[in-house]
Chains A and B, each alone.
Chain A
């Protein structure tokens, strides 16, 4: 069940993505509305993160196209903030919380210049918003999981984007931090931002998001939570792998067949 929207902020058309020559996402099609809190839900290892990464062209796609703000990614990068999974970064790196927040102010064209005082104010403001300003000088190796996540979010806020893509921001985070983050997202939504989140927990998904993408190697459903988050759709999403699809994927990997003829 895919419910489409007019004037989508993200449009994905017939997207197939592979890893090591094996397709991990098949024929994904959806459009997403602006200004919503959108959750990507599905079993582990079934393509949620891959979907987010292909939106940012971190993983190339084999077919289809993606339009963001009805334009190509390279033209609208400055409007998008991507927050990777917390464990993708080495937190022993010698940097402070403020260093991380300030990274949000980098752009390819100012990477050789010094930070302006405006940059520093924006970074400080972002830290304040996630209750991390007091930790600005703290080294990131001394942070708890929740604090690390909030540092990442401060970086994202400092980017002052319109669309935020977040990969499992609630993973491994304590209850109080989770509450803080949800409240932050709500206030961002009230400002008109769009937030797309890969989420791991079914229980909270219905509460947090008003639009949901159900993903398991393919798109099972996309639409408003009430319509899509039904037992039937969830059964289909979590009901195990499609055996024929899996077998075909294996054959493609083995014979190294091209995913699209041309």
Chain B
């Protein structure tokens, strides 16, 4: 039972970390935050139309809200003339508010409540229905998250150079004829899908902690992108394991405990690096 929950958490952490690395390197952490909030109405509508998170079309529809968010932010900023940071704030609070109203009003029809929105129902995955694979009963949540992880891995393995290039120097990428827009939307689609799928486990807001924190911690420690991605996976997984037992010990929500541990990891590494910089680094006198 423990294992099932831990595996689910790890799947969420790993998928989110990989995507999150690119998000923070593109300075789009807050857009990621906005998307994860904005998919809520899509998820609720999907529930209203078709039961639990089973149907793939509905999931895609919910994820479409994420893409819609990026469009709206662009539209309000360029055509509507609103300041960029304000646009992000207005769009995601509106959509999230809409989602909460739907959740409250249709509480009876939909199997989501406010708590689920905030921190998911990670522990319930142990009691979930599942599919029989090679003699093991695997909960649907784990199946879905595994598929998502495979897709993200495929994206990063095959699209590594494209992501690397368009993240580091989009102007240069445009001049050699690479479609910077396309890579942008692919990444945003990944964020949308991933937050929709993680919703049931960790909720709409905590998923941001999974998206940003392990990559940020890894960023402090590494100078190579591949290493950064691997490190953030390590932090994500270790945070999930420690967080699970921490939650059990103090009787709190598992997802929140994991996110808190991820935060603690960041604080430790940050403090370590700050001290290292102050007392131990030789002045950097580069030779010309």
Contact = CB atoms under 8 A, between A and B. Distances in A.
- A, B co-complexed: yes
B288 A147 contact: yes
B141 to A, nearest CB: 32
Interface string B262-288: 000000000000000000000010101
Interface stretch (A81-89, A217-225, A235-243): A81-89
A191 to B, nearest CB: 21
A93 B177 contact: no
Contacts of A112: 158-159, 161-162
A112 B225 CA distance: 17
B25 interface: yes
Contacts of A143: 286
B288 A177 contact: yes
Interface stretch (B2-10, B37-45, B167-175, B187-195): B167-175
A177 B288 CA distance: 7
Nearest to A131: B288
B171 A94 contact: no
A181 to B, nearest CB: 12
A80 interface: yes
A4 interface: no
B165 A111 contact: yes
A108 B176 contact: yes
B284 A142 contact: yes
Interface in A117-151: 139, 141-144, 146-147
A95 B224 contact: yes
Given A142-B284, A144-B286, A89 B177 contact: no
Contacts of A99: 164
Given A82-B172, A94-B227, A95-B224, A144 B177 contact: no
Nearest to B224: A94
A58 B174 contact: yes
Nearest to B166: A111
Nearest to B178: A108
Given A103-B165, A111-B161, A94 B219 contact: yes
A96 interface: yes
B176 A89 contact: no
Given A93-B25, A94-B219, A80 B224 contact: no
Nearest to A115: B161
Interface of A: 56, 58, 74, 77, 80, 82, 84, 88-90, 93-96, 99, 103, 106-108, 111-112, 139, 141-144, 146-147, 155, 159, 174, 176-177
Given A77-B175, A77-B177, A111-B161, 13 more contacts: A56-B174, A58-B171, A89-B168, A93-B25, A93-B168, A106-B161, A106-B176, A108-B179, A112-B161, A142-B284, A142-B286, A147-B286, A176-B288
5 contacts: A84-B172, A93-B225, A95-B164, A146-B288, A147-B288
